[in-house]
Structure 1
Amino acid sequence: MSAISLLNASNASRAGSLGDGGGRAAATQFTQPGWQIALWALAYALVVAASVAGNVAVIWIVLAHRRMRTATNYFIVNLALSDLLMAAFNTSFNFIYASHNVWYFGEEFCRFQNWFPITAVFVSIYSMTAIAAERYVAIIHPFKPRLSAGSTGAIVGVIWLVAFGLAFPQCFYAEVTTDNGTTKCVVVWPDDVGRKHQLTYHVAVIVLIYLLPLVVMFVAYSIIGVTLWSSAVPGSHVNRTRYEHQVNAKKKLVKTMVVVVVVFAVCWLPYHVYFILGNFKEDIYQQKYIQQVYLAIFLLAMSSTMYNPIIYCCLNQRFRSGFRLAFRWCPCVKATEKDKLRLTSPSRYQTTYRKSKTSSFNMEMQFNEKT
C-alpha cells in the first residue's frame, strides 16, 4: 500500500487526503524546513537502495543456481519481486506526495499508485502464506507429492490475479482534483454517504492482506513447530545422521520464515492502526506533528521491503554464500569456492546417502550373482 492507496481513499468533497501528511487543506501549514525534508529523503533513499539491491540479489541467487530452485524458493522470489517493485514504484513517489502535499505525477500515475501498492502488499503476504502452506504439507504430510514447478507457477499467477482484482476498485475510482489551488490524488467513491463504502473497503483490505494471512501462518507454523521440535530420531546411525540433518535444515527454514512474518507484521501494524484511527477520529489529521508521525509510520512500513534479504543472509547459509557471490565486487566481501559449492553441489549428507544406497545395491547384486 502507499500514502495514497488507502489513506487517500476519500470523497472529493474532503479538503485533502489522509495520505498527504496533513489530510486537508490545512495540511499546507505543515510545511517542513529544507533540512528536515533532506533527512527524510535520505532515510527513504537508503530504504529504496537497500531494498532494490537486496531483492535483486535474492532473485538472482535462486534463478541462477539450479540447486536453489525449489518450490519454497520460487515463492521467496515472488516475495522479493513484489518488495522490489514496491520500493521502486511506490516509496519514492508517495514520500514526495506526503512531504509536499501536492500531486505532481498526473492522473494515470495517480490511478497506478492507487492500484499497485495494494497489489504488491497482497502478493508479499500471500507469498509468505504459500510458503507456510508448502512447508506445512512437506513436514506434516511428507508422503504427499511435492509442488512441481508448473504448480508453483500456477499458484503465483493466481496470487497476482487475485491481488489485481482486490486493488481494482481503488484504481477505478482514483482521480486528480484541485483543492484550494493544490493538486490532489484522491479516490472518489460514488454515493458514499457517511463514507460507508470507503470504510467497508478499508476494513476488507486490512482483513485480507493482514489479519487473515497472519492467522493462517500462525496456525501453520505452530503445528509445524510442535511437529519438528518433538519428532523422534530413528535408530540406525546412518538414518539418524541423515534424519537429524534434514530436521535441522527444516527447523532453520521455519525459523527464517517466522522471523520474516513477524518483521512484516510489526512494520505494517502502525500503518493499519493509523488507518483505523483515521476512519473514526478524523481530527488526528489536524494535529501539529501528524505529518512527521505519518512519514515515520510510512517509512517503517516501506522498510519491510528491505529486511527479508538481510534475514536470509543472517539465518540461511546458502543465501549467505549467494550474497557473497552477488556482491563479490565489493572490496569488503570475499567469496570462496566453498560458497559456489553450497549453491551448486548436493550436500554431503545427500551424497553419503546416495553412496550408501548404491553400495547396498551393489552388494545385493553380487550376492544374487553368487547364489
Structure 2
Amino acid sequence: MDVNITTISRTYEEACKIKGNPLDVLWVRVVLFSLYCLVFMVAVFGNLLVVYVVTNNRRMHSVTNIFICNLAISDLLVNFTSLWLTPVYTYVGHWIWGGWLCHGLPLFQGASIFISTLTLMAIAVDRYFVIVQNSTIAQLNDRVSITKCVAIVSCIWCTSLLLVLPYGYHMKYTYIRLPCDFFVCTEDWQNKKWLKKIYGMTVMFLQFVVPFTIIGISYAMIWIFLKGHEQDFSARGSHSIQRDTARKKRLLRMLVTMVCLFAMCWLPLNVLNLLRDLELVAWLKAPQFVFLVTHLISMTGTCWNPILYAWMNDSFRKEFMMAIPCLRRSALARRVRTDSVPASVRINCPQSSLFMDHPYRYSQQFSFGEKGYTWWQSIKEAVYGRRDKEMDLVTKSANLSDKESQTVRETMITNPDEGSVSECDESCHL
C-alpha cells in the first residue's frame, strides 16, 4: 500500500522489465525534474523561514504559530524524504539505498504526510474555537493553551507514526537475479491482499477524508459566524461598511482557497493509490507517469502552506522581511512610518463590541497603545493567527466593573472621535 507518497509498489517481474529509467522520453524527464527542483527550493526556503521566525522571536510563540511551525517542520520532512525519493526511485528503476532504509524511508515518508494533513486539520479546529467558540472557553489562558497545543502536536506525531507502522513493516528488500541484477523495495503482505485493501482504504479515510471534512466544516462554520454578525457593521459609517465588506469577501476567498487547495493537492494521489490497492489501474497506459504527476501535485502543498498560513499573516510577513537582508530596509522604513502616528491618535481607533465582548485567551493579546483594531481586523487576524502583542487585555479588562466595561465599549463604538478615526485610518486598517 502506498501511503500517499511512497515508493512505487510493483511486482518483481515488472521491476525487471522496466530496468533503468521507466520514463523513456527525455523531455518528460527533464520537465518533471525541473518542476520537482522548483517545488523543493520554494518549499524548503519558505518552511525554513517559518521555523526560523517562530523559534527566534518570542513574540511569535503563540498557539496558532506553534501549529504553523509544526506544519513547516512536517513539510520539511516531506521535502527531505518523499519529494526527492519517489521520483529518483522511479527514474532509476531499482532500490539503491540498502535494506534498512527500505523500511525506514517509507515509514518517514508516510508519517510526514500524516503529520502535515493532521496539522492542517488542527489549525482549522483551533481557528474555529478562537473565533466562534471563544465565549465558551473563557477560562483558557496562554499557558494552558500552549501546553495543550504541545500535547496535540505530540499526539499528531505519535498517531502518524503508528498509522504507518504496518506499511513500513510490510516493506521487503529483495534481490532480483540476472538478467536484472538489482534490488527492489516493495510491499509484501504475504498473500493477504484483503488486508492490504483494508489498510489502503483506512489510510485514505484518515489521511484525506477526515481532515478534508473537518477543515471544510470548520471554515464553513467560521464564515457562517461572520455572516451572522454583520449587524456589528451598522454602527459605523458607509465608507467603513464598504471597506469591511471588501475584507469579508477577501476572507471568504481565502477560506475557500484553503479548502480547495487541500483537496486539489491530495485528492488525485489518494484516489490513484486507492485504485492501485484495489487493483483497478489496469486501464492506465502509463501508470508510473500518472503517479509522478499526482505525486508532484501533492508536493506543491508544501509550497502553498507557508504562503497561506504564514505569508498572508501580517506579523509573519513583517518578520520574514526582517529576516531577509535585502528586504530588511523596506520593513524598517514601513515600521517607522507606522510608529510615527501619535499614540493619542492611535489609541482612539474604534474597538468592536464583538472583539471586546468575547474573552480572548492570552495568546491573542492586542496592543491598544501600538495599533488600534476594528472588529473586522481582529477577526481577520484571528483567522490568520496574529497573536503576538504583549499587552494583557484580559488583565486590563478585569480592573473595570461590568458596567464600566460596557460603558467604555459603547463609547468606543457609537461615539468615536471623528477626527481621530479619520486620522488613524491608515494605521488602523489593513
Q: TM-score range by the shorter chain?
A: 0.7 to 0.9
Distance in 2, matches of 1:70 and 1:248, equals 28
- CA spacing shift, 1:248–1:323, aligned 2, 3 Å: farther
Q: Give the drift of 1:248.
A: 10
1:215 to 193, 210, 213: 213
User: Structure 1 residues 52, 44: closer, same or farther in 2, change over 3 A?
Assistant: same
Name the TM-score, length of structure 1 as normaliser.
Answer: 0.78
- The 5 Å alignment of 1:276-291 reads 276-278=274-276, 279-284=278-283, 287=285, 289-291=286-288
Alpha carbons of structure 1 residues 73 and 277: separation in structure 2 relative to 1, 3 Å? same
Residue of 269, 279, 287 corresponding to 1:271: 269
Describe the superposition over 1:99-138 as per-residue Cα deviations: whole angstroms up to 9, x where unpaired: 1211111111111222112211111111111112112222
Aligned partner of residue 32 in structure 2, secondary structure? helix
- Equivalent residue runs for 1:11-22 within 5 Å: 14-15=11-12
Matched, 1:86 2:78: yes
Task: Mark the CA change 1:312 to 1:138 in structure 2 (over 3 Å): closer, same or farther.
Answer: closer
Say which of 88, 102, 122 aligns to 1:110. 102
Q: Matched residue pairs, number?
A: 340
| 1:300 counterpart (294, 297, 301) | 297
Q: 2:17 maps to what in 1?
A: 26
Cα distance between partner residues in 1 of 2:74 and 2:301? 11
Find the aligned partners of 2:117 and 2:298 in 1 and give their Cα distance.
13
Provide the residue aligned with 2:66 in structure 1: 74
CA shift, 1:80, in A, is 0.9
Contact 1:4–1:185 (8 Å) recurs in 2: no
Does structure 2 conserve the Cα–Cα contact (< 8 Å) formed by 1:86 and 1:120? yes
Q: TM-score, normalised by structure 2?
A: 0.68
Alpha-carbon offset, residue 270 of structure 1: 1.2
Deviations 1:28-63 (A, max 9, x none): 484525554333222211111111110011122223
- State the alpha-carbon separation in 1 of the partners of residues 249 and 313 from structure 2: 11
Deviation at 1:187, TM superposition (A): 1.7
Which AA in structure 1 matches 2:181? G
Give the direction of change, closer, same or farther, for the CA distance of 1:181–1:330 in structure 2 (3 Å limit). farther
Matched, 1:187 2:181: no
Q: Equivalent pairs: percent with the same residue?
A: 26
- How far, CA to CA, are the matches of 2:15 and 2:223 in structure 1? 48
Deviates more, 1:88-97 or 1:177-186: 177-186
Distance 2:19 2:5 in 1: 16
Partner deviation per Cα, 1:181-200 (whole Å, 9 max, x = no partner): 332111211341xx111111
In structure 1, runs of 5+ residues without a counterpart are 17-22, 239-244, 365-371
| Distance change >3 Å, CA 315–CA 4, structure 1 → 2 | closer
Q: Provide the aligned C-alpha RMSD in A.
A: 3.8
Query: Unaligned 5+ residue runs, structure 2?
Result: 237-242, 340-364, 374-388, 405-430
- CA pair 225-126 structure 1, distance change in 2 beyond 3 A: same
In the alignment, the residues of structure 1 paired with residue 253 and residue 319 of structure 2 have an alpha-carbon distance, to the nearest angstrom, of 19
Partner residue in 2 for 1:196:
194
Q: CA deviation digits over 1:133-167, x for unaligned, max 9?
A: 11222222222144521111011001101111001
CA–CA separation in structure 1 for the residues paired with 2:152 and 2:98: 34
SS in 1 for 2:79: helix
* Residue equivalent to 1:20: none
Task: Provide the secondary structure at the position in 1 that maps to 2:331.
Answer: coil
Supply the distance in 2 between the matched residues of 1:338 and 1:280 (Cα, whole angstroms).
58
1:348 counterpart SS class:
coil
Question: Which 10-residue stretch deviates more, 306-315 or 55-64?
Answer: 306-315
SS at match of 1:186: strand
Partners of 2:321 and 2:331 within 8 A in 1: yes
Equivalent position of 2:319 in the other structure: 322
Q: Distance in 2 between matches of 1:252 and 1:71?
A: 24
Q: Deviations over 1:308-364 (max 9, x none)?
A: 123346532222222222223479x8432545989x99451269997xx79x97xx9
Between the aligned partners of 2:163 and 2:333, the Cα distance in structure 1 is 46
Quickly say closer, same or farther: Cα 1:139–1:250, change in 2 above 3 A. Answer: farther
Map of 1:367 onto structure 2: none
1:139 partnered with 2:135? no
Counterpart of 2:348 in structure 1 is: none
Q: Which residue is 2:169 aligned to?
A: 172
| Contact 1:256–1:315 (CA under 8 A) maintained in structure 2 | no
The 8 Å contact of residues 85 and 120 in structure 1, kept in 2 or not, is answered as: yes
Distance (whole Å) between structure 2 residues aligned to residue 271 and residue 311 of structure 1: 22
Q: Distance in 2 between the 1:93 and 1:197 partners?
A: 26
Q: Assess if the C-alpha contact under 8 Å between 1:228 and 1:251 holds in 2.
A: no
What's the counterpart of residue 149 of structure 2? 152
SS in 2 for 1:349: coil
SS in 2 for 1:103: coil
In structure 2, the residue matched to 1:369 is: none
Aligned residue number for residue 349 of structure 1: 372
1:115 and 1:171 in contact (8 A); partners too: yes
Q: Is the 8 A contact 2:6 2:110 kept in 1?
A: no
Equivalence for 1:43: 35
The secondary structure found in structure 1 opposite 2:282 is: helix
The answer for the alignment partner of 2:258 in structure 1 is 260
Q: Distance in 2 between matches of 1:295 and 1:60?
A: 31
Note closer, same or farther for the CA distance 1:112–1:260 as it changes in structure 2 (3 Å cut).
farther
- Partner residue of 2:380? none
